[in-house]
Structure 1
Amino acid sequence: MEKLANNSIKGLKRITSYKLLLLLFLISQVNLAQETSLESGQKYILGGIEVTGLQSYNEQTVKTYTGLRIGQEITVPGEEISAVIKKLWGLELFSDVAMYQTKIEDGKVFLELNILERPTLSKVTIYGIKKRKIQAIIDDTDLKKGKKITESLIANTKGYLENKYKKQGYLNAKTTIATAKDTSGTNSESMVINVKKGDKVKISDIVFEGNDKLAAKRLKKALKNTKQKKFYRFWKKSKYIEDDFREDLSALVDAYAEKGYRDARVLSDTFVKINENNIALKIKVEEGDKYYFGDINFVGNSVYNDQILTRVLGIRKGDTYNGVLLKKQIADDSKPDAQDLTNLYQNNGYLFSSINPVEVSAVNDTIDFEIRIIEGKETFLDHVTVTGNDKTNDHVIFRELRTKPGQKYSKDNIIRSIRELGQLGFFDAEQIAPDVLNPDPNSGTVDINYSLVEAGSSQIELQGGYGGGGFIGTLGLSFNNFSIQNIFKGESYKPVPMGDGQTFALRLQASRTFRVYSLNFSEPWLGGRKPVRFNLSFSRTQQFASNFSNQGQIQVDKDRGFAITGVSAGLAKRVQWPDDFFTISHSLGYQLYEFNDYNIGLFNFGNGRSNAVTYTVGLSRSSQGPSRIFPMSGSNFEITAKFTPPYSLFSGKDFKAISNSIDEKSERLFEIGQNPSTIQEQQEFQELQADIEDLEEERFKWLEYYKVKFKGDWYTTLIDKLVLRTNAEFGFLGNYNQDIGDVPFERFFVGGDGLGNFTLDGRDVVQLRGYENSSLTPFVTNAISGQQQQDGGVIYNKFSMELRYPLTLKPSASIYGLAFLEAGNAFNNFNEYNPFQLKRSAGVGLRIFMPAFGLLGIDFGYGFDEDLRPQSIGNGPSGWQTHFIIGQQF
């Protein structure tokens, strides 16, 4: 072998140089179309270029895109050809791009550009995902028809799907993607995606190492979103999500910092796979030493002295070191209205202030701080503007703003302005955005623009319910941003004059047995300068006589009945003390009660009139917000007292004698009515009835009473947008003269959905779900007929708790779910009143608010106690009741 090799080498040496050149020339001419080498190049004139391999693209389009022109000088091989190939690859439309030299003649070179197109996506089929979610996946991954199928598209789609479900706790999620040629199109392929999510991986155990100072239970509590599997856990699931876990590790360090361990850190974290569905987390911590606050000195402060700043900071020398608390007391980013040092300055005009805590020494276990303050220049508002109010006039908005040009900048005033705008109901409270513009620390000025989105403020009220033996329907039109000054301007009807913030409402409520008409007008800023609300209302109620036939059908006699005509005017003024959330209101009203051969059972005259002149004074405080529809904070309470003049004090009538005479005649009437035996007794019966009617009309010609009501609502945000609403109500109807007794009107009817708030007799219909309408109103025995009748309570109380969570708060529709606990009751007199004798209920519900139709909802309530109807006594709990809420305000 060695000899053969030597002979070969000697043979090669004998090849002459001209023979070598001839061999190289022949090799270069074999297959002239082979790919050109890039090791060297020669200049030519481009004689022509041919594009091959195209299936869906136009040849001329590709030639134009290359930028090569016939007749241009080109180096082969060279940078021009390399640039063209790179440019075409960058389109990601082709799976192969190659440039060939086909021939050279007369200094011209002819090229062939060979392209292999990528296949086009014709359709996508996804398995393992619910049908309603498939389109969202296609949109997120951009798997549109006509999309070029590339390796990166497939890899990105696979990665997106697996990461998506891993973030939801499906750590074993796997995705496979396959493509197949689709003969229905040119160079097209279909794609099949198979997603196997598997089961959610739960955290079966969380183990801590190195925690001597804080118990594992306390550390587990600090992990807000990473929870160990427990059979009773339903609010926070025990799934492992990487991003949440990393965030919780920071919270873990904060938990140590709150207890003084400022050097605490997480040394390592691992999870151990128990099986396909369970993992265990192991977290190793280093706690370090416990520290305490030493001296805290303020540097750079001139606006506030050290005593004020120390009081707001709320941290004293010797307190356990708490880094989280220190940060919050300097600037609490979680609460825009927090009582911290930053807000202290920013609420007093110092927008450009900065406050930084600095550790100046750490000796043993004590840390001294300097709170370094740069106060900056006092800042004033230059321009205050609003945008987005297409319907509402500017003056309606500006009068509610607490930020005026020339005032000191105040963050608190901006927050309050947002609330006031949200409470108007004319704008989407979720989208009110105050933009701080053009801040100039040199001149000390800043501009504010409030960006608004108009919301539907007018409503069509369609309300329905069943009561009084028939269907009760309501039709109402409420224009809540009305403009009465433009009522005679035809061009302002779109569809009605709007923009001045006034309220104009028309309402019709009717059933077979009654009708109610009402008109209401309200101007919130009477005179335009101060927040004094003027209200004027008129109402007319008609109640017809009715009874049930032998077939159980209700029969109505419209020739018999009674009517109430009422008119009232009121003023309500926003006051500044104790704070500017308070409003004092006054109203004066008159009601005329007319009876036509109709006795309602509460008193014994069926023909005649009664009158009532009333004065109502109220004190309310409303700080709920930011939205009227879904308040998340604040409170709303109202106490009102309604009085009539004490006519009996100066009328000169002996009401005791009138009352005694009524009692005597009623007793005799009852005796005769039980067993009339002679014509004389029947005649006496009729005479007694007429006498009693005359006496009753005399007793109640001018109604006198007082009525006190209280209602309070408190809103507390618990977690995220989970809101707790607590409510307490109380009402009492009293009289001045025991000889006259309680008036038959203005009473309280408790139980049911709270609908039917018609002004039939001035009654208050109180919602208590889980019971039928008015079924918690006490029944009494009529002294004459001996029949059980429902006159309405003279005292009631009610308590409720609601957990609310919004599903959406969009302007088009706000939807939230709720769960409630309620308890309440009504009583015939104060002697029977027991605030702890309550009828209890619980349930769930749903509310939908649409601007054009108001509030719609449904509640499913379970009453735990029996109601007060005679036929219910002894029959056990009220049980499940369904309540439809249509048109009821929030």
Structure 2
Amino acid sequence: MNIKKENEDLGKQVNNLVKLPAITYLKYFFTIAFFAGCMAVQAQDVNYIKGKKYILEDISVLGNTSFGDQTIVSYSGLRKGNEITIPGEDIANAIKKLWNSKLFSDIEVYVTKIEDDKAFLQIQLSDLPQLNDIKINGVKKGKVEGIVNDNKLKKGTKVTENLITTTKNHLVKKYKKDGYYNTKVHINTIDIKDSIQTARVNMVVNIDKGEKVKIKDIVFSGNDVLSDKRLRKAMKSTKKINRLRILKRSKYIDSAYQADLGHIVDTYKENGYRDARILSDSLVVNNDKTISLYIDVTEGDQYTFGDIKFIGNTVYSNEYLSRLLRIRKGDTYNGVLLQKRIADPSKPDAFDITNEYQNNGYLFSSINPVEVSADNNVIDMEIRISEGKPAYFNTVSVVGNDKTNDHVIYRELRTRPGQLYSKANVVRTVRELGQLGFFDAQEISPDFKNANPMEGTIDMEYSVKETGSSQIELQGGYGGGGFIGTLGLSFNNFSIKDIFKKEAYKPIPMGDGQKLALRLQASRFFQTYSFSFSEPWMGGKRPVQFSTSISHTKQFTYGANFQPDRSRSFNITGITFGLAKRLTVPDDFFTLSQAISYQRYDLNNYNTGLFSFGDGHSNNLSYTVGLSRNNTNVDPIFPTGGSKFSITGKFSLPYSLFNGVDYEQLSDEYDAAQQQAANAESTLSPEYIAANEKITEIDQKRFNWLEFYKINFKGEWYTEITKNLVLRPLVEFGFLGAYNQDRGVIPFERFFVGGDGLGNYSLDGREAIQLRGYPNQSLTPLDETTGRASNDGGTIYNKYSLELRYPITLKASAKIYALAFLEAGGSYDSFRDFSPFNVNRSAGLGIRIFMPAFGLLGIDFGHGFDPVPGKTTKHGWETHFIIGQQF
């Protein structure tokens, strides 16, 4: 046996011990007293003289232990040949050392024999059992590892009463902080009987968290100036039971409560009571298992601002800094507001004095408010400013981009070497990198390197984490009488210049920030093919986006036995070229976009009622111009602030001004033909057939080249109400008009409101407007003839939406957020029928999941409070599956 090695192991385990709790020391001293006082009893058959010194002749060891006898004796401190007193400190110290090792239990020392001046001792003990396995019940699997690590419950740990007690206390305290005030923890150990000599046990930890305790009441004392109601309102997260409250719960969470105590003091400071304090607070558990909070405050006197002087400022004048501070002599003292006006940590782009300095190069500046006098409750302030030297960027670098080429990133940077430091430019750079969609927006961080206040230089390093920027859409399903298959490929960080380089396919050429999309959708009744490409920096020097797209759609009608009738078809072929330029005026959040598009509509015996004619063709050559502004915060999937606005106009040429067609006469002929058809005895009569042929002939002249203009507006705002809880109001409006009223509004390009907003295969350039809680494209104007919803869509629509979002996770692998919504909207035939508040209303809940490989997925449960056109009862619940919709 290696005694030296055993001694070293024993010593290391003792040296690694933490201090014992008081209860353990009491147990130890009780044990020492027992041995010191009762030694004679344990050795009652041995005659010795109390207090006499003896030579220790021999020490033996007895008991269930894996340590060798000599190891235990050596560690006890007792040495053969040493002089000891019985009873005395030598034996007491030996017991203490062995006990403190936390390796043994049932430590006993016996005097086995006395021969003249020689004493023989025996140490009897047992090893503490080692932890073999642990099972934790009552918590989620993902929480088990944390509990094991926090309490050091690894395999091989010595299981002591102290370990069990501290583990139990830790868990109870932990869950109390989370609001589970009735937590119960039971810990059992089970001895293992096997061939291994070492004592081992399995541990079972049963945790019953119970329900989170609710706050029955919050009682204040000492408050005369501010009412109980005002102070309760100041507590942002700690609320008493109120069944009418929805967003804020009444469950007690200790960390939130402690923060709210600070909010109470801040509320007093905001009202001039700078000396306000929390004298004491207590928690009382009620008989109904709720709790009551008692908070005692002292308010002090109200103060006002006196003279406010700026000291040390040379860059900005006192007058200019006073305008930034926006606090005047005689104003009620507000310490919270004062600090925010100097530096607001909650808003990186706040309009405060610190940002004014830092946005103009003074990175190393410091600004400190100091009270210099408080006589007669009037506080005179000095704002002491150390400006330092202006800072310039020495080097600017980006790390973490393995796929995206450097030039794609560096062209978006607002900070460049040699440029004067600006905090606003750093914040804007983080936003621009997040908006690219190639990186995890939550992981982008600007890191300051090698800051040198003496030389006025700084190195800046942006750390990014790439995410999958390509998506694949592969779907199959049964619908519309047959199988529908979809294959879509979207490459959002494509590199077209490497398309012929074999080594670039990993699995596709990537890194230049271009977008390439291919999509094929087919069933027995239709096929859709599309291709699109965009280059965000055409020429590589300016943010001018070039885009192009080509598409072709073929649709067949239903024939006998629900089979496609290929002799009756409707084809659309289209091509679009667009340019979008980032503007600098009014600011560089604005984008001006322009596009030229052409669509060819071919109808072959396609008399479905969708259009006013079933044979012939139409041509749609149009110019689209749009002005948009987007300053939403970093993450495009889950913005927490900012807004998006866009207004677009789509215009065709005014053909009726120069094509020589008398549309007034055509309109009269059209009305006469419709009247003839209405007066016909049947649809098979010669009069009806002739009238229908006349209508088709007139429609071909009216719609050979489509003539129209269309205006769209959309605005949405993002506001973070509390941390991560985001409110998004939205307003939309659209209008389709005609230059020549005799020619009329075209049957294409119309608005179809209702449902999930996914157009699927739009045959006629229609716009599908989302309004959850109703069937897809169901909210169309009533047909005056039939009294039912028409198939033609509306020429005007409006929509209002209020959405509340909360993230479940914003990790790069999957971003998930829940939402609740209120929506209202409708579509109309003309301004004569338009009423902005005559709308269909809905409300509901939903969830969104964004995975880089598949795009946005989601499901909504909406309740329509109004009937769809042509019905008399409210629609009720509708489920919507969202695939690939824009966020």
2:768 aligns with 765
Over residues 344-378 of structure 1, what are the superposed CA-to-partner deviations in whole Å (9 max), with x where a residue is unaligned?
11111100000011111122121111111110000
Over residues 252-299 of structure 1, what are the superposed CA-to-partner deviations in whole Å (9 max), with x where a residue is unaligned?
221111110111122222334442613333322221111101111111
Give the superposition deviation at 1:743.
Answer: 1.1
Over residues 478-535 of structure 1, what are the superposed CA-to-partner deviations in whole Å (9 max), with x where a residue is unaligned?
0000000000001110111000000000012334432221100000000111100000
Q: TM-score, normalised by structure 1?
A: 0.86
Distance, in Å, in 2 between the alignment partners of 1:304 and 1:204 is 53
2:57 aligns with 32
The partner residue of 2:324 within 296, 305, 312 is: 312
Q: Does 2:285 match 1:277?
A: no
Q: Does 2:635 match 1:627?
A: yes
Q: Does 2:259 match 1:255?
A: no
1:585–1:101 CA distance, 2 compared to 1 (3 A): farther
Distance, in Å, in 2 between the alignment partners of 1:518 and 1:96 is 82
Contact 1:32–1:101 (8 Å) recurs in 2:
no
Aligned pairs for 1:707-718 within 5 A: 707-718=710-721
What are structure 1's unaligned runs of at least 5 residues? 1-22, 36-50, 104-109
1:333–1:474 CA distance, 2 compared to 1 (3 A): same
Distance, in Å, in 1 between the alignment partners of 2:258 and 2:157 is 37
Letter in 1 for 2:443: Q
Distance, in Å, in 2 between the alignment partners of 1:123 and 1:270 is 40
1:647–1:818 CA distance, 2 compared to 1 (3 A): same
1:14 aligns with none
Give the superposition deviation at 1:729.
Answer: 0.8
1:273–1:767 CA distance, 2 compared to 1 (3 A): closer
1:867–1:675 CA distance, 2 compared to 1 (3 A): closer
The partner residue of 1:175 within 159, 175, 185 is: 185
Distance, in Å, in 2 between the alignment partners of 1:82 and 1:429 is 64
Contact 1:430–1:627 (8 Å) recurs in 2:
yes
Distance, in Å, in 2 between the alignment partners of 1:670 and 1:236 is 62
The partner residue of 1:141 within 132, 140, 151 is: 151
RMSD: 3.6
2:815 aligns with 814
Letter in 2 for 1:348: N
1:467–1:300 CA distance, 2 compared to 1 (3 A): farther
Letter in 1 for 2:834: Y
SS of match in other structure, 1:674 = coil
1:220–1:596 CA distance, 2 compared to 1 (3 A): same
The partner residue of 2:389 within 377, 381, 385 is: 377
Q: TM-score, normalised by structure 2?
A: 0.86
Aligned pairs for 1:342-357 within 5 A: 342-357=354-369
Give the superposition deviation at 1:467.
Answer: 7.7
1:795 aligns with 796
SS of match in other structure, 1:832 = coil
Distance, in Å, in 1 between the alignment partners of 2:719 and 2:666 is 54
Distance, in Å, in 1 between the alignment partners of 2:444 and 2:353 is 26
Give the superposition deviation at 1:779.
Answer: 4.1
Letter in 2 for 1:164: K
SS of match in other structure, 2:701 = helix
Give the superposition deviation at 1:641.
Answer: 0.4
2:736 aligns with 733
Contact 1:34–1:100 (8 Å) recurs in 2:
no
Over residues 97-147 of structure 1, what are the superposed CA-to-partner deviations in whole Å (9 max), with x where a residue is unaligned?
9999999xxxxxx99998743211233355665778656544543433433
Contact 2:59–2:80 (8 Å) recurs in 1:
no
Which entry has the higher C-alpha Rg, 1 or 2? 1
Distance, in Å, in 2 between the alignment partners of 1:436 and 1:129 is 41
Give the superposition deviation at 1:573.
Answer: 0.2
Structure 1 window deviating more from structure 2 (181-190 vs 321-330): it is 181-190
Distance, in Å, in 2 between the alignment partners of 1:787 and 1:246 is 61
Contact 1:601–1:789 (8 Å) recurs in 2:
no
The partner residue of 2:587 within 558, 579, 585 is: 579
Structure 1 window deviating more from structure 2 (415-424 vs 264-273): it is 264-273
1:499–1:724 CA distance, 2 compared to 1 (3 A): same
Distance, in Å, in 2 between the alignment partners of 1:218 and 1:189 is 56
Give the superposition deviation at 1:206.
Answer: 2.3
Distance, in Å, in 2 between the alignment partners of 1:96 and 1:788 is 89
Q: Does 2:166 match 1:156?
A: yes
Give the superposition deviation at 1:382.
Answer: 0.7
Distance, in Å, in 2 between the alignment partners of 1:602 and 1:662 is 18
Distance, in Å, in 2 between the alignment partners of 1:239 and 1:829 is 53
Contact 1:705–1:743 (8 Å) recurs in 2:
yes
Letter in 2 for 1:326: L
1:17 aligns with none
Aligned pairs for 1:458-497 within 5 A: 458-462=470-474, 474-497=486-509
Contact 1:729–1:799 (8 Å) recurs in 2:
yes
Distance, in Å, in 1 between the alignment partners of 2:202 and 2:798 is 68
What are structure 2's unaligned runs of at least 5 residues? 1-47, 85-90, 114-119
Letter in 2 for 1:599: N
Aligned pairs for 1:559-708 within 5 A: 559-601=567-609, 603-672=611-680, 674=682, 682=686, 685-708=688-711
2:456 aligns with 444
1:215 aligns with 227
Contact 2:56–2:82 (8 Å) recurs in 1:
no
Structure 1 window deviating more from structure 2 (730-739 vs 239-248): it is 239-248
Structure 1 window deviating more from structure 2 (463-472 vs 240-249): it is 463-472
1:472–1:781 CA distance, 2 compared to 1 (3 A): farther
Contact 1:377–1:444 (8 Å) recurs in 2:
yes
Give the superposition deviation at 1:688.
Answer: 4.2
1:155–1:234 CA distance, 2 compared to 1 (3 A): farther
Over residues 571-603 of structure 1, what are the superposed CA-to-partner deviations in whole Å (9 max), with x where a residue is unaligned?
000001111100001111111111222235355
Letter in 1 for 2:703: F
1:75–1:769 CA distance, 2 compared to 1 (3 A): farther
Distance, in Å, in 2 between the alignment partners of 1:144 and 1:391 is 41
1:404 aligns with 416
Distance, in Å, in 1 between the alignment partners of 2:223 and 2:694 is 90
1:686–1:221 CA distance, 2 compared to 1 (3 A): closer
SS of match in other structure, 1:774 = coil
Report the identity percentage. Answer: 57
Contact 1:211–1:285 (8 Å) recurs in 2:
yes
Distance, in Å, in 2 between the alignment partners of 1:854 and 1:168 is 35
2:759 aligns with 756
Letter in 1 for 2:271: K
1:879–1:365 CA distance, 2 compared to 1 (3 A): same
1:823–1:165 CA distance, 2 compared to 1 (3 A): same
SS of match in other structure, 1:830 = coil
Contact 2:730–2:800 (8 Å) recurs in 1:
yes
Aligned pairs for 1:774-785 within 5 A: 774-780=777-783
Contact 1:561–1:595 (8 Å) recurs in 2:
yes
Distance, in Å, in 2 between the alignment partners of 1:240 and 1:822 is 34
1:568–1:675 CA distance, 2 compared to 1 (3 A): closer
Distance, in Å, in 1 between the alignment partners of 2:212 and 2:652 is 68
SS of match in other structure, 1:726 = strand
2:29 aligns with none
Distance, in Å, in 1 between the alignment partners of 2:141 and 2:364 is 54
Structure 1 window deviating more from structure 2 (809-818 vs 588-597): it is 588-597
2:725 aligns with 722
1:878 aligns with 875
Over residues 437-494 of structure 1, what are the superposed CA-to-partner deviations in whole Å (9 max), with x where a residue is unaligned?
1110011001111111111100113568998677765431100000000000011101
Give the superposition deviation at 1:195.
Answer: 4.1
1:350–1:112 CA distance, 2 compared to 1 (3 A): farther
Letter in 2 for 1:183: K
1:57–1:701 CA distance, 2 compared to 1 (3 A): farther
Give the superposition deviation at 1:63.
Answer: 10
Aligned pairs for 1:16-55 within 5 A: 32-34=57-59, 55=65
Distance, in Å, in 1 between the alignment partners of 2:363 and 2:142 is 49
1:12 aligns with none
Letter in 2 for 1:667: Q
